[in-house]
Structure 1
Amino acid sequence: MKLKKMMAVVLAGVTCAGMMAGCGPSGDDSKASGGSGEKGTMTLIMSTRDEFLSTLESAAMSSAEEAGVKLTSQDAQNDSAKQIQYIETAVNGGDEAVIVNPVDSDAAQSLVDAAGDTPLVFVNRPPSDMEVLAAKNVGFCGSNEDTSGYFQGEYLADHFKKQGKTEIKYILLQGELGQVSQIKRCAGVLKALKDNGIKATSVVDLAGKYDRAEAMNKISPVLTSGQEFDCIISNNDAMALGAIEACEAAGIDPASFPIVGIDCTKDGAAAVQAGKMAMTVYQNPLGQGKGCIEAALNLVEGKAANDGTSFTKDDSGKDYSDSIVWIPFEPVTKDNVADYL
């Protein structure tokens, strides 16, 4: 059974409990797990709370409770300075470790500096400079973005080859420009198309900022401009869903060409099942939530972050390989989407 299904009931209870928690020290929403604290206290600092990250957060709280860790979660509301403030508060409060979903991957070193000797685990978003992970008390738990877009490209290449096409035109919906995920997801899908003998030409690249409404607004005028295209490639499900809405508003059947996303959110999976989205790529928030707790506990005990992990170790041979816990991406199509609903 998929980890997603195994933890669903537990997460529902944890989420409800979290919604009843009080406010954080600066008035922002905070949540706390019901862990006993036998293995100490930790703080999870989110960049924001969207559907995906909220699921990750709940999974981390559930895993912390099972491990006997008292975990407090804070929402930095996309404010880098606030993340540093929360780290300093956690360190001064004697937390055993800090887990951070960074607002700005380029600012990773400043987060490590704020933690000092306290173990720090990056979750979901890796540092732009992975050498930051070479420090003995720093780790990362997330999914390898080199593979996410590649799965999209492999699906599209197979789709168009079956139609006898070797040249296509695409519309690209990009996430937050400059983020590691945006850069690698775009590069991955184009590399896979090229590797599989498809010449792909961009009609337009749009900055949808991972947001459904933003993507809908950006793509709407393109859809009605008369420009020809063969597919819509999106860096995440939310923007793909915005593109679907824009198509339907313009009287275009979204099932008449492939629209591909990443994350396999609840709404994204439903769109794949309905045939409106051709495929998505499951990024496992439950695995990331569980894995970051495993990594933090390892660092607290003086072990490598991925020691004894139930997920995947890094095999790149880099000097920071032992600091990485990989949660594999999984391609999702109509054939297997039932496993993810």
Structure 2
Amino acid sequence: MKLKKVMALALAGALSVGMLAGCGGSSSSSDSGSTASNKNLKELTFVIASRDEFMSSLEQAMSSEAEKLGYKIVTQDAINDAAKQIQYLETCANSGQEAAICLMVDAEAAQSLVDAAGDMKLVFVNRPPTDLHVLDAENVCYVGSDEDTSGYYQGEYLAQYFKDKGQNEIKYLMVQGTLGQVSTTKRSAGVLKAFEDNGITATEASAPLVADYDRPTAQEMIQPLLSSGTKFDCIIANNDAMALGCVEACKDVGIDIDFPIVGIDCTKDGAQAVEEGSLAMTVFQNPVGQGRGAVIAAMNMINGDAVNKGMEEYALDDSGKSYSDSIAWVPFEPVTKDNVADYM
């Protein structure tokens, strides 16, 4: 494990707990014995959009960090229903909870979620609001990773890969997540920007495939293209799950993977695939950092402190916008076979 990850975990254990109350009716929870000075306040609600491999890792990391701080995370799963998220936040606010964490179903609905939270502090995690002006460091903040950099790391890797082969023109297959999500838009744009910046002329081998970040969907959607003999130089997926679906599709149709397939998130399965060579690279998105950061940011807002107090390794946004002090960035990190052991 990288030194900075170890330091982050140690720092989290040293922080004191703010005043966080919970709301009932959880769909799942992580219980722990309290080590906090106020044992009457043990719960913090996490309203999640739905579960996939990465989001489950984030949820578990959040629960683990919360346990060290003396309280438990109570998770409400909206099952991709934006209206349910609003209802859950209203219930929490009406019950007197001081803060909640939300991983949004619909980034366009951020203002409705802020309205539902009322006077309760609200932390958006992982998926930023489409309109960042809803953020206010005193009451509403965002903790996550800058998606402008995730796809760019993919593009930088691929650009160097093809330059080393003496190739400046390529055709690619793009497998995208859910259309309209900020992560999908920025991850897709970032890789193409990196191609442009590094002198690679990249054209689509086919229209992008929209697989909604789902492994079986990606496997099913790309298989006809592979079977038809479509010519391409690489496969670019917006996350590891879809990249691994493409790997499985190649195996299904008997294609040797002698071209790069790249993903994002560095899930357990993604890291294993990089080590084995079926994925050329991935980009680490830090669920421990995001989960831990969301919990600490909630406490900081309650206590009137800077959003990233106690986790200064996660810098505040430096764009100079009105919402800059409301965003704590948890860095993405490129992962290849050379360094994948640090992430396993």
* Contact 1:141 1:288 (C-alpha < 8 Å) held by counterparts: yes
Q: Deviations over 1:249-269 (max 9, x none)?
A: 111112x00000000000001
Confirm or deny that 1:210 pairs with 2:213: yes
Taking a change above 3 Å as real, the CA distance of residues 105 and 33 of structure 1, as seen in their structure-2 partners, is farther
How many Å apart are 1:78 and its aligned residue?
1.2
Per the alignment, residue 96 of structure 2 pairs with 94
Taking a change above 3 Å as real, the CA distance of residues 150 and 142 of structure 1, as seen in their structure-2 partners, is same
CA–CA separation in structure 2 for the residues paired with 1:185 and 1:178: 12
Aligned partner of 1:124: which letter?
N
Please say which of residues 57-66 and 169-178 is displaced more in the overlay. Answer: 57-66
| Corresponding residue to 1:115 among 105, 114, 117 | 117
How many Å apart are 1:81 and its aligned residue?
1.2
Confirm or deny that 1:65 pairs with 2:67: yes
Confirm or deny that 1:325 pairs with 2:324: no
Per the alignment, residue 29 of structure 1 pairs with 28
Q: Runs of 5+ in structure 1 lacking a partner?
A: 11-23
Q: Deviations over 1:39-62 (max 9, x none)?
A: 644211111122211111122122
CA–CA separation in structure 1 for the residues paired with 2:268 and 2:157: 21
Aligned partner of 2:228: which letter?
S
Per the alignment, residue 14 of structure 2 pairs with none
Q: Deviations over 1:223-263 (max 9, x none)?
A: 01122100000000000000000001111112x00000000
Per the alignment, residue 241 of structure 1 pairs with 244
SS at match of 2:135: helix
Confirm or deny that 1:199 pairs with 2:201: yes
Please say which of residues 297-306 and 228-237 is displaced more in the overlay. Answer: 297-306
* Contact 1:35 1:64 (C-alpha < 8 Å) held by counterparts: no
Per the alignment, residue 272 of structure 1 pairs with 274
Per the alignment, residue 284 of structure 2 pairs with 282
Taking a change above 3 Å as real, the CA distance of residues 333 and 291 of structure 1, as seen in their structure-2 partners, is same
CA–CA separation in structure 2 for the residues paired with 1:124 and 1:209: 16
Taking a change above 3 Å as real, the CA distance of residues 272 and 257 of structure 1, as seen in their structure-2 partners, is same
CA–CA separation in structure 2 for the residues paired with 1:162 and 1:38: 58
How many Å apart are 1:35 and its aligned residue?
3.9
* Contact 2:179 2:212 (C-alpha < 8 Å) held by counterparts: yes
SS at match of 2:119: coil
Taking a change above 3 Å as real, the CA distance of residues 145 and 3 of structure 1, as seen in their structure-2 partners, is farther
SS at match of 1:140: strand
Per the alignment, residue 309 of structure 2 pairs with 307
Per the alignment, residue 253 of structure 2 pairs with 250
* Contact 1:30 1:75 (C-alpha < 8 Å) held by counterparts: no
SS at match of 1:280: strand
* Contact 2:137 2:306 (C-alpha < 8 Å) held by counterparts: no
How many Å apart are 1:36 and its aligned residue?
4.9
Q: Deviations over 1:62-119 (max 9, x none)?
A: 2222223443222111111111111112112221201000111110111100001110
Please say which of residues 98-107 and 69-78 is displaced more in the overlay. Answer: 69-78
Please say which of residues 53-62 and 202-211 is displaced more in the overlay. Answer: 53-62
* Contact 1:4 1:340 (C-alpha < 8 Å) held by counterparts: no
* Contact 1:37 1:70 (C-alpha < 8 Å) held by counterparts: no
* Contact 2:237 2:243 (C-alpha < 8 Å) held by counterparts: yes
Per the alignment, residue 337 of structure 2 pairs with 334
How many Å apart are 1:325 and its aligned residue?
1.0
Per the alignment, residue 141 of structure 1 pairs with 143
Per the alignment, residue 13 of structure 1 pairs with none
CA–CA separation in structure 1 for the residues paired with 2:310 and 2:29: 30
| Corresponding residue to 1:232 among 235, 250, 254 | 235
CA–CA separation in structure 2 for the residues paired with 1:209 and 1:33: 34
Per the alignment, residue 16 of structure 2 pairs with none
Taking a change above 3 Å as real, the CA distance of residues 144 and 5 of structure 1, as seen in their structure-2 partners, is closer
Structure 1 length as normaliser, TM-score? Answer: 0.90
* Contact 1:124 1:142 (C-alpha < 8 Å) held by counterparts: yes
Report how many aligned residue pairs link the two structures.
326
How many Å apart are 1:38 and its aligned residue?
4.3
Q: Deviations over 1:308-331 (max 9, x none)?
A: 424222111111111111110000
Aligned partner of 2:157: which letter?
Y
Per the alignment, residue 49 of structure 2 pairs with 47
SS at match of 1:134: coil
Q: Deviations over 1:146-186 (max 9, x none)?
A: 00000000000000001111110000000000100000000
Aligned partner of 2:2: which letter?
K
CA–CA separation in structure 2 for the residues paired with 1:288 and 1:135: 17
